[in-house]
Structure 1
Amino acid sequence: MSSVLGVSVGAGAVRVARPHAGNSAERGALRPNPVDAFDLQAIPVGERRTEELVADAIGAVLAADPRVSATAVAYRDEQTARAIRAELARRQFTNYELVPDVVAALEFLEYSGDLQGFGTVAIYDLGASGLSVTVVDTATRQVCFSERTSDISGDYLDSLIREQQIASGRIAHPPDASGLAALDALCRTAKEQLSENSAVALPSTEGLVLLSQENFEALIMLAVESSARMTRDVIQRSEQQVQAVAVIGGCAQIPLVARVLRRWLGVPVLVPANPGTVASRGAAIMARPVQPRPAPAPFAAAFENSSILPPDATTALLTSTGAVEKISRRREISMAGVAVGALVVVSAIGVSLGWGPQVLEHDSQSSDAATSSAAPTTTQSSASVPTSVAPTTDATNEQLAAPPQRQETTTTDAPPPAPGPNTFTIIPGLPPVVVPTLPPLFPAPAAVPAQPGISHR
């Protein structure tokens, strides 16, 4: 028969709850007294980290009893939940779930029948590190309002007892921190025993801790009334009609707490048996085996892997004409894209290196070169040179310094003038670039009279 495990995390101790053999908490088959249906254990935190202690406790239980099929951990805040989740993941624990301690406590209180007939309740949780007051709707499990304070706590009540004992002269002040911690632990034990006894006397190395129930209540009365005032304020701010108050936590066993709350709030105050373990027992009731995550779907693109797709589907997919045509078209488009990209790159490199005029006017340059090679005579071609005067250096500078002439747009569609020999169009759509004519290095030769039978161009 499988079993479950419930764990609650507190500042002072980590508590573990397991249903007895033959009693399954998840099926609701507990004994008439729910306290007797669980094996309970409290592990003091001390100097260790809480998440490490939780992981150690779960690991020890799983190693001792392989029948444990589910684990639930009740946490107080999100920071504690993240730390526990990280530690359990580091130790490779998977079959667990995290639940808020308020929800776990409500689960047990409803399960035990303490909250039967109450729709909205306030949970008063007084533990070692502080007090939490939470207003909850029992039907929807929705938290209406919650507040926490560290002004009153179990540790604070212990310090009140310690200071009172030192002030009485029966206890010497401890000389170091370890002695002070030992005295606080002794005062905590006295506080717990006073919940059932009228007086306690506990010996120690520093003296005798002697305290009566009457003195203890007078010592903590102001702190308890302050907590009752806080509970009343939380209920008012929640704007809910609270029908009862459930007192849980390690300090809930102090009889004065329930009496003061009844007087201040005027509603029923419920104190379950062993209130410090309510969250751990509720976590055990909520523990369910974690369903394994489904395996990820196979990747359909791996057609050649017959283990991913069925053989028939793979063959039909590879032999279908439509699939082959789509693949060939994709290849053709890819090749065309590569070719276009290569041409764009080559064109960009040519323009950046100054090859644009030669490439764009390759035909005109080649024809001019052929004409000049056919008539290489210098005297004949220079016969018409005297008709034009070579520009001087000043004229050249003025031509270079002059801004380019803009072409005015007219309504007539006259054809543009033919470009000169020194005009080059580098980029279509932009104005052409005019290269100035440099003066000759040597003077022009004398003109030679034209001979008959020879034409000059």
Structure 2
Amino acid sequence: MSSVLGVSVGAGAVRVARPYAGNSAERGTVQPHAAGAFDVQAVPVGERRVEELAADAIGAVLSADPQITATAIAYRDEQHARAIRAELARRQFTNYELVPDVIAALEFLEFSGELQGFGTVALYDLGASGLSVTVVDTASRQISFTERTSDISGDYLDSLIREQQIASGRIAHPPDAAGLAALDALCRTAKEELSESSAVALPSTEGLVLLSQENFEALIMLAVESSARMARDVILRSEQPVQAVALIGGCAQIPLVARVLRRWLGVPVLVPANPGTIATRGAAILARPVRQRPAPASFTTAFENSIPAQHDSNPPLLSSAGAVEKFSRRREISMAGVAVGALVVVAAIGVSLGWGPQVLEHDSQSSDAVTTSAPVTTTRPSIETTTVAPSTTDATNESLAGPAPQRHETTTTTEAPPEPGPNTITIIPGLPPVVVPTLPPLFPAPAAPAG
């Protein structure tokens, strides 16, 4: 019988979860509420790289249980996913998939019935390395807003307990890093035991760790209220009607956290059993065997296949007769525009010199113009239709346009102007000469002397 493996890679521990016999990976067959539905194991990170430890744990479980056919690994963000993927590629692991830890946690909470009746929820994930608050829609799995901070974390709460115990005088400050790490682990154990008891007393080589529930809550109150303020701000920025808040992560089982969030947010606060393994069990539910897909074609091959081979040296724009004809028509239109512009300029000059009527009536005053006494009318013959079939584009354009009208141009000539006189000058060749009036002298000539 096949089985699946769910993995969560946290800063403090790598957790793996497998459904027990009788459960499978298919939705509806795993019973999360049943006692012992999942076999969950945790491996502390310690001094090793967390990605390397996760790869070792996955390899050990797969070697011990050959019936595992699918593995799902919950990751925190894209950088976290890239690091995990690189380590698994180095180990040549292929039959796995990466899922966001928010989606994995949401899958388990909805599958177990914790979120029944809630459409939009906020996931408050307080773990060893930081706090993440995410607003997500339970139906579409759409994330509206998410934010993460390391100002409050499980490690920070452990350090508060450590400093308080050292300040009380019952615990001597460890002399080296190894002793400090051992004391931090003892303070972490005290924090976890205070979730179910009113006081703890744990002996160590440096002294006795003694802490009550009341002292512990007073110690972490400011940090928890700061996290509640952050959760409220995230919900407001998401602009979504959040109906409940679900607490996950190792520190979610601290009773003070749920009480403060209820007071600050005013919505139901859900605390599932074993909140530190929610993402791990959700990943096991999401695990599916990876199907073999054909390798996609390379970009070069796909690009070459999409373009037909060109054996002509001409560019594509001029490779067809229709394109050449369109290009010639554009040139004719451009030349016609230039000619019309030149006529407008000539007409304007003629108007300014006083020959507007002659210019506008197409008066020809050139020396080589044909002079007749009667108007001559010339009609341009129509263009003969060729037998060559037009291109598809030209046929479409001609079907949309009306028939070209036949043009009749009438050229009327008048008698030639008189020969230029002594007071006429020619300013522009081809235009009538300008008559310069005779002006009286500015100063009269001196009178001849008498006698």
Q: TM-score range by the shorter chain?
A: 0.5 to 0.7
The 8 Å contact of residues 34 and 112 in structure 1, kept in 2 or not, is answered as: no
> What residue in structure 2 maps to residue 149 of structure 1?
149
TM-score by length of 2: 0.65
> What residue in structure 1 maps to residue 356 of structure 2?
none
> What residue in structure 2 maps to residue 193 of structure 1?
193
Classify the secondary structure of the residue corresponding to 2:293. coil
Matched, 1:225 2:231: no
Matched, 1:273 2:250: no
Deviation above 3 Å: which 4+ runs of structure 1? none
> What residue in structure 1 maps to residue 45 of structure 2?
45
Matches within 5 A, 1:330-341: none
Instruction: Give 1:251 deviation, angstroms.
Output: 0.2
Matches within 5 A, 1:41-440: 41-294=41-294
Find the aligned partners of 2:294 and 2:224 in 1 and give their Cα distance.
52
The 8 Å contact of residues 74 and 101 in structure 1, kept in 2 or not, is answered as: yes
The 8 Å contact of residues 229 and 264 in structure 1, kept in 2 or not, is answered as: yes
Instruction: Give 1:52 deviation, angstroms.
Output: 0.8
The 8 Å contact of residues 104 and 283 in structure 1, kept in 2 or not, is answered as: yes
Instruction: Give 1:241 deviation, angstroms.
Output: 0.5
- Give 2:265's aligned amino acid: L
Classify the secondary structure of the residue corresponding to 2:40. strand
> What residue in structure 1 maps to residue 351 of structure 2?
none
Instruction: Give 1:28 deviation, angstroms.
Output: 2.0
Q: Quickly say closer, same or farther: Cα 1:150–1:34, change in 2 above 3 A.
A: farther
Classify the secondary structure of the residue corresponding to 1:182. helix
> What stretches of structure 2 of length at least 5 have no aligned partner?
302-310, 313-451
> What residue in structure 2 maps to residue 36 of structure 1?
36
Find the aligned partners of 2:200 and 2:8 in 1 and give their Cα distance.
29
Find the aligned partners of 1:188 and 1:173 in 2 and give their Cα distance.
17
Q: Quickly say closer, same or farther: Cα 1:267–1:296, change in 2 above 3 A.
A: closer
> What residue in structure 2 maps to residue 324 of structure 1?
none
Find the aligned partners of 2:32 and 2:51 in 1 and give their Cα distance.
34
Find the aligned partners of 1:166 and 1:293 in 2 and give their Cα distance.
59
The 8 Å contact of residues 35 and 274 in structure 1, kept in 2 or not, is answered as: no
- Give 1:87's aligned amino acid: E
The 8 Å contact of residues 7 and 283 in structure 1, kept in 2 or not, is answered as: yes
Classify the secondary structure of the residue corresponding to 2:36. helix
Classify the secondary structure of the residue corresponding to 1:145. strand
Classify the secondary structure of the residue corresponding to 2:273. coil
Deviation digits for residues 394-441 of structure 1, max 9, x if unmatched? Answer: xxxxxxxxxxxxxxxxxxxxxxxxxxxxxxxxxxxxxxxxxxxxxxxx
Instruction: Give 1:176 deviation, angstroms.
Output: 1.1
> What stretches of structure 1 of length at least 5 have no aligned partner?
302-329, 334-457
Classify the secondary structure of the residue corresponding to 1:62. helix
Deviation digits for residues 218-248 of structure 1, max 9, x if unmatched? Answer: 1111111111111001100110100000000
Q: Quickly say closer, same or farther: Cα 1:16–1:224, change in 2 above 3 A.
A: same
The 8 Å contact of residues 35 and 273 in structure 1, kept in 2 or not, is answered as: no
Find the aligned partners of 1:173 and 1:258 in 2 and give their Cα distance.
33
Instruction: Give 1:70 deviation, angstroms.
Output: 0.2
Please identify which structure carries the higher helix content: 1
Q: Quickly say closer, same or farther: Cα 1:34–1:119, change in 2 above 3 A.
A: farther
Find the aligned partners of 1:32 and 1:128 in 2 and give their Cα distance.
25
Instruction: Give 1:35 deviation, angstroms.
Output: 6.0
Instruction: Give 1:38 deviation, angstroms.
Output: 0.1
Fraction of identical pairs, as percent: 86
The 8 Å contact of residues 133 and 234 in structure 1, kept in 2 or not, is answered as: yes
Query: Alpha carbon RMSD of aligned pairs, Å?
Result: 1.7
Deviation digits for residues 164-194 of structure 1, max 9, x if unmatched? Answer: 1111111011111111111000000000000
Q: Quickly say closer, same or farther: Cα 1:84–1:32, change in 2 above 3 A.
A: closer
Classify the secondary structure of the residue corresponding to 2:195. coil
Find the aligned partners of 1:164 and 1:13 in 2 and give their Cα distance.
25
The 8 Å contact of residues 17 and 281 in structure 2, kept in 1 or not, is answered as: yes
Find the aligned partners of 2:146 and 2:133 in 1 and give their Cα distance.
6
Q: Quickly say closer, same or farther: Cα 1:93–1:32, change in 2 above 3 A.
A: closer
Classify the secondary structure of the residue corresponding to 1:26. coil
Instruction: Give 1:26 deviation, angstroms.
Output: 2.3
> What residue in structure 2 maps to residue 15 of structure 1?
15
- Give 2:26's aligned amino acid: E
Instruction: Give 1:72 deviation, angstroms.
Output: 0.3
Find the aligned partners of 1:83 and 1:247 in 2 and give their Cα distance.
27
Matched, 1:24 2:24: yes
Deviation digits for residues 356-390 of structure 1, max 9, x if unmatched? Answer: xxxxxxxxxxxxxxxxxxxxxxxxxxxxxxxxxxx
Deviation digits for residues 137-190 of structure 1, max 9, x if unmatched? Answer: 111101100011111100110011011111111101111111111100000000
> What residue in structure 2 maps to residue 378 of structure 1?
none
Find the aligned partners of 1:219 and 1:277 in 2 and give their Cα distance.
26
Find the aligned partners of 2:34 and 2:60 in 1 and give their Cα distance.
24
The 8 Å contact of residues 72 and 286 in structure 2, kept in 1 or not, is answered as: yes
Classify the secondary structure of the residue corresponding to 2:47. coil
Find the aligned partners of 1:107 and 1:124 in 2 and give their Cα distance.
15
Classify the secondary structure of the residue corresponding to 1:25. coil
Instruction: Give 1:106 deviation, angstroms.
Output: 0.4
Q: Quickly say closer, same or farther: Cα 1:33–1:265, change in 2 above 3 A.
A: same
Find the aligned partners of 2:98 and 2:125 in 1 and give their Cα distance.
19
Q: Quickly say closer, same or farther: Cα 1:143–1:32, change in 2 above 3 A.
A: closer
Find the aligned partners of 1:192 and 1:35 in 2 and give their Cα distance.
22
TM-score by length of 1: 0.64
- Give 1:265's aligned amino acid: L
> What residue in structure 2 maps to residue 393 of structure 1?
none
Q: Quickly say closer, same or farther: Cα 1:32–1:249, change in 2 above 3 A.
A: closer
> What residue in structure 2 maps to residue 411 of structure 1?
none
Classify the secondary structure of the residue corresponding to 2:26. helix
Find the aligned partners of 1:34 and 1:274 in 2 and give their Cα distance.
13
Q: Quickly say closer, same or farther: Cα 1:251–1:32, change in 2 above 3 A.
A: closer
Instruction: Give 1:89 deviation, angstroms.
Output: 1.1
Find the aligned partners of 2:214 and 2:29 in 1 and give their Cα distance.
42
The 8 Å contact of residues 8 and 14 in structure 2, kept in 1 or not, is answered as: yes
